[in-house]
Structure 1
């Protein structure tokens, strides 16, 4: 028995060795989870930097908007650049404002409704941009542990088959196969935990940015409503 034990080849229990020795199904699971983990971190970095840029852009726009500059002048300045965030909402409202008065708007209520609808559409588009790819994080956060568990089950089944074939329950025979199987679960958790944390954080940040834009839309709607009353009320008297 001692000679047999010495003759048995020692298993490579490093991470790379466990991957190489794993069943092909387990390898596919590991590779898929590693790819999902890399893509998850790419989304986290991209969204974190993007939200930072968005918040700075909102701050700059609010500073300019409330500086006392006329709406027409601000509209002309912004029409020369790509509008995002609050500026996109502002531009949508001003475009509808100008089109309506160019065509001789007469109903204050209808004009206000059209402007509000234009801002709602612009706000929805900006929210879609904020929430883009967050669904992937939620999916990985919920599915990755179960995908890793599937790899673990397949790996353990393969290990039991090897035990049955070798007719030996020696720990040296069992341990490498079990370790390969558990590695799939570990990689699943490695992908899922950052995805869940990032999804909660980024969703909260997106909600706060959306609330800021919605608040601006309400304030700007009130400003335009007063101007509509000033412009159209004399005509209707």
Structure 2
């Protein structure tokens, strides 16, 4: 089948099958847009996380790093956001006269947990679209197939002698709907699995960093508690 015959079959398809093909094409375009955008976002987040973690462990004074991150970035992201929110709460409680180590650590931990949740939502945003396309596109294509086959067999009632030439166009348009559905679903499933794995690994790195920061804050909190 050449391109001209394919286009002709699509243009001559029934309105329902054409609508199904348009819907599947839109779903495919949306999934590819999300997949490429999320891939770029995750790559940038990984690069930023590595840079910040290197800076964090090379900086002896957390106050200096905190003021640097809070002033340079209007809205810190990733590890920077988790660090800024956790250390800010720790520092605020300390200046408010809280000296109990458990209270200082609990406050910092709550703030870091909230920041972590926001970062997880940002990384996972729109990934559900890929899952939706991957799970629903084959069924939508199957609907177009069933409708096309039904339309093809109904057209046989208008002819006196049923031939393969009479039913072939309807079967062809039906199979094209299935093919478009698979074309939309397969890349969406592949990208969803790949990006979900990358997000889980990145969030794991965020959790490890938060644990390391919490250990440092615990040492400082116990020192403050002893001085008090």
**TM-score between the two structures when normalised by the length of structure 2:** 0.95
2:15 to 24, 35, 49: 24
Larger radius of gyration between Structure 1 and Structure 2:
1
| d(CA) in 2 for partners of 1:207, 1:168 | 61
| d(CA) in 1 for partners of 2:161, 2:150 | 15
2:122 to 111, 123, 129: 129
How big is the shift at 1:45? 0.6
Where has structure 1 moved over 4 Å in runs of 4 or more?
none
User: Matches of residues 1-237 of structure 1 in structure 2 within 5 Å?
Assistant: 14-80=5-71, 81=73, 82-235=75-228
| d(CA) in 2 for partners of 1:18, 1:223 | 67
Alignment match, 1:4: none
| d(CA) in 2 for partners of 1:225, 1:113 | 10
SS in 1 for 2:161: coil
Size of the aligned set, in residue pairs, is: 224
- Checking the alignment, whether the CA contact within 8 Å between 2:9 and 2:173 is kept in structure 1 is yes
Q: Greater CA deviation, 179-188 or 102-111? A: 102-111
- Checking the alignment, whether the CA contact within 8 Å between 2:131 and 2:192 is kept in structure 1 is yes
Alignment match, 1:8: none
RMSD of aligned Cα (Å): 1.2
- Checking the alignment, whether the CA contact within 8 Å between 2:101 and 2:224 is kept in structure 1 is no
Deviations 1:44-85 (A, max 9, x none): 110111111000000100110011341111111111213111
Unmatched tracts of structure 1, length 5 or more: 1-11
**TM-score between the two structures when normalised by the length of structure 1:** 0.92
Unmatched tracts of structure 2, length 5 or more: none
How big is the shift at 1:13? 6.9
How big is the shift at 1:110? 1.5
